[in-house]
Chains A and B, each alone.
Chain A
């Protein structure tokens, strides 16, 4: 019984590996390429020179005050390292978490000293993936006046761009409404470049 069982097992493993490890992913890849070519390759965004400037779905680090900032990212060795996703894994009572949060609150205040409102929590905490492309609408509104001032744009301009880049709940129910930070900043970059004759 041992030998026949072993022979069947090996042949079974081989045939299942060909079907489920080879044909199945190849078929999914082939069909995806045909019907969802953009999504299958990572929802990439290209500029006028057809250069990849990012993925619609993957966040990027923004630290200049004239851009909207995203979530904190705990990836190493630099934030938003999309080759090695990671959360912070700080426990809720970890003193280092408190230090990181306090430093972020301070950085936000330093970038916009006149802003006295409380900081939305998602702006001072690290996302699960370290690659969260989004912020809450509250987090976008918190930063709107700062970006408008530094960019020489009206708050109305900025509000319109926030609305344009807001993803509502799916079917009005599922998930949370969010603002895509990279797409928003790309729009602001274009608008500002247009307004100042292409400085940046």
Chain B
């Protein structure tokens, strides 16, 4: 594989800028979640206090893990119900210039589940389904809330390592509101304005009629105009990138030129995908008083992500072998074209920016796209699918990525402890049977949702009706869909016809299970750890910031996390790859 200098430089710059941002943002987040004053307290403190006052919250009140989990559950249920109602009733609500109808019950269920779980799977096309009110007050609000809830649970989980002999893990409302007001709002606001400057549309006006320069002659009639859908997109695009939501304003998400118009807007949107998940690692280290712990976690994530990114790039840059076999087509990279597999990619991004996006958006549980993953080469498309099957811990969702990875760290010290016959410890807390049982639930639920869901789909006629492509690639579409819902990612092999009662319901249930049956055991672990005393490190303690631990944790993530999916991947992307070779051989 040859990588051009400029492509290598773009990948390098991406990670460089990301890592430069990690420390300052991480320190800031750590301060926010510890309730300390920051440079934004003066400007936004009134907003935080105002929200507490209106909702009747006492932010100082400490919660046990059960109370914390209870509030998370009740609040998420209210959000789910409210969003469901907006989706069903949007026809009669204001800010609906395109006269969008209400959604069917199954699509509304799926979409409400999708946006309250931070998945943002979209079984609909934004510009053909949703009113502006739904986009802003329904979906946009959940983009903020679901992200802040994930970060709140992370903050309480980290706190449980710091507290000793305490029964409490913090206040859910304070954690959520602080994340919203001090972290998500300012970042989204600034990013939204920069994106508008680049050309991302932001208006309450209705769609625009343009008179075509070269009228379109179809067999039946001549089309003289182009209807251009617009709307308040930038304000939503910024939070969907920053909050690892990923739900596009338009159907094709950030491939749409009015959602991601330039190379610079693309760079910033890509940066926003990993920005908070990566900074969470530093915030973790800062909060537990040992930043090396955070760097170690970030190192594991990057060690897994980067080779897969380069592999994906190589596959896509290599082009489609079947097009090469057709002849008369130039797929090689040159100074005048990026070349490669350009089906489902945009020229302004080329292969390298499509590959960076595809890998990071699935590593983080973002799920937005700037190219169509369904049209990736067989092995190139394997990468985003695999990234989701890592249970969204390679950076992962905001908050949930880090707590997911910390669960893997617990499993790692447990396995290491088994090897030497000692009770394992992590950050001074003894890891015992209860923590490992709960960790196992966190590991198994996404797996169960993904594989069982895909199995049900291929065994039922309703499920079999979904794929657009045939053969192994059709199975890949199904497996990709359930990997996406079962790990709360939201990206799709978009050929899958997912707006049917079957897929809406099964994928919707899958998203809910995966989100909450990972979150609740994590809170249970937090409660248990918080109640324990700290044990001082001894000669037998495994240090958790060393290259050895990084190696161990990487190994556990690979073995425990992803090995389970190998048989399914063999039936999907790998079989697809060999079918392609076979087709060429047949001529």
**A-side interface residues toward B, CB under 8 Å?**
1-2, 4-17, 19-22, 24-25, 27-29, 31-33, 35-36, 39-44, 47, 51-64, 67, 71, 78-94, 97-98, 101-102, 105, 109, 117-122, 124-139, 141, 167, 169-170, 173-178, 182, 185-186, 189
Contact = CB atoms under 8 A, between A and B. Distances in A.
Contacts of A1: 67, 70
Contact of A170 (B255, B267, B378): B267
A87 B471 contact: no
Given A88-B372, A92-B320, 14 more contacts: A6-B78, A8-B56, A10-B78, A52-B211, A54-B228, A81-B226, A92-B576, A121-B319, A121-B340, A127-B255, A129-B346, A136-B338, A139-B337, A176-B348
A92 B572 CA distance: 13
B256 A91 contact: no
Given A39-B199, A92-B377, A128-B252, A136 B347 contact: yes
Contacts of A132: 257, 346-348
Contacts of B144: 16, 20
A15 B331 CA distance: 53
Given A32-B202, A98-B322, A176 B349 contact: yes
A39 B234 CA distance: 11
A189 to B, nearest CB: 6
Nearest to B135: A25
A60 B211 CA distance: 10
Contacts of A136: 336-338, 347
Contact of A120 (B199, B262, B337, B348): B337
Nearest to B207: A83
A74 to B, nearest CB: 9
B408 to A, nearest CB: 31
Interface of B: 6, 9-10, 13, 47, 50-51, 54-57, 67, 70-71, 74-75, 77-79, 82, 125, 127-128, 136-138, 140-141, 144-145, 173, 180, 185, 188-189, 192-193, 196-205, 207-214, 216-218, 223, 226-230, 232, 234-236, 250-252, 255-258, 261-264, 266-267, 319-320, 322-323, 326, 328-331, 334, 336-350, 353, 369-372, 374-378, 381, 468-471, 473, 476, 493-495, 576, 579-580, 583
A24 B252 contact: no
16 contacts: A15-B55, A17-B137, A39-B198, A55-B258, A57-B199, A89-B468, A89-B469, A90-B343, A90-B469, A101-B323, A120-B339, A121-B323, A121-B331, A124-B323, A134-B346, A167-B348
Contacts of B320: 92
B258 A57 contact: yes
A31 B128 CA distance: 27
Contact of B338 (A13, A130, A176): A176
Contacts of A56: 199
Nearest to B229: A83
Nearest to A170: B263
A199 B322 CA distance: 44
Given A40-B202, A53-B213, A133-B257, A11 B344 contact: no
A85 B227 CA distance: 11
The 5 residue pairs across chains A and B that have the minimum distance between CB atoms? A175-B263, A21-B137, A128-B255, A89-B495, A91-B473
A11 B339 CA distance: 53
Nearest to A12: B55
Given A29-B204, A60-B213, A128 B345 contact: yes
Contact of B185 (A20, A40, A87): A20
Contact of B192 (A28, A35, A89, A122): A28
A120 to B, nearest CB: 5
A88 B322 contact: no
Nearest to A49: B211
A60 to B, nearest CB: 6
B263 A169 contact: yes
A56 B201 CA distance: 12
Contacts of B198: 39
A62 B282 CA distance: 51
Nearest to B338: A176
Contact of A127 (B328, B347, B471): B347
A86 B193 contact: no
Contact of A24 (B71, B185, B230, B343): B185
Given A16-B144, A28-B234, A29-B232, A175 B350 contact: yes
A83 B128 contact: yes
A29 B235 contact: yes
A136 B349 CA distance: 11
A91 B213 contact: no
Given A25-B136, A87-B344, A88-B372, A124 B329 contact: yes
Contacts of B204: 29
Contact of B193 (A28, A63, A102, A173): A28
Contacts of A47: 211
Nearest to A96: B469
A6 B141 contact: no
A42 B470 CA distance: 38
Contacts of B263: 169-170, 174-176
Contacts of A133: 257
Contacts of B214: 60-64, 67, 185
Contacts of B348: 132, 134, 167, 175-176, 178
A59 B256 CA distance: 11
Nearest to B132: A25
B328 to A, nearest CB: 5
A17 B173 CA distance: 15
Given A57-B258, A91-B374, A127-B346, A84 B266 contact: no
Of B13, B78, B236, B339, chain A has the most CB atoms within 10 Å of the CB of B78
A93 B471 contact: yes
A82 B193 contact: no
